[in-house]
Homo-oligomer: A and B are copies of this chain.
Amino acid sequence: MNAISASAVAWVRNERLTPEDDDWEAVVSEIVLDPSLPAECLDGLEAFSHVEVIYHFHLVGEEQIISGTRRPRENSAWPQVGIFAQRARLRPNRLGVSVARLLRREGRSLFVRGLDALDGTPVLDLKPVMAEFLPRGEVRQPDWSHALMENYWERNG
């Protein structure tokens, strides 16, 4: 196994057309099933409050991918860390994983709040969020990652 092929199961529609780093909680997205799938693959998802979305950073060119280290957001105040110690989009395989609040389902569409993906993003998988799949034990993380996330969901001041 060296290459795995995946195809879009759904597509993101929202008003974010260009990459921006912050203020994602304000964004409501429609996730529309790809025509290749039947509507019933979403049945029962509305019983969950949150959905995990696996998607492709489709605007990142292969030549932009970083496979070593970089400073997050190229901010000199933060340490040079490996690409797998950050969640930046310029990463091998260009996969994003994010949890959004499920507002409602309408037929072949899900409406979600706070999905940090641009309009036109191909979605590769949708999973229900179960409390049992959250981290077991206390979460510990470095200070730079808290600073980076300060305005990510909601702009503070």
With A4-B5, A6-B95 as contacts: A134 and B134 at CB distance below 8 Å:
yes
Which residues from chain A sit less than 8 Å from chain B, CB to CB?
A: 1-9, 25, 36-38, 40-45, 47-50, 52, 54, 56, 58, 67-69, 79-87, 91-93, 95, 97-99, 101, 114, 122, 124-142, 145-146, 149, 152-153
Residues of B contacting A126 in the complex (Cβ-Cβ under 8 angstroms)? 84
Copies in the complex: 2
Does A136 lie within 8 Å of B93, measured CB to CB? no
Partner of A8, one of B1, B37, B84, B134: B1
Instruction: Report which residue of A7, A82, A122, A129 has the largest number of chain B beta carbons within 10 angstroms of its beta carbon.
Output: A82
Does A87 lie within 8 Å of B141, measured CB to CB? no
Does B124 lie within 8 Å of A135, measured CB to CB? no
CB closest chain-B residue, reference A72: B44
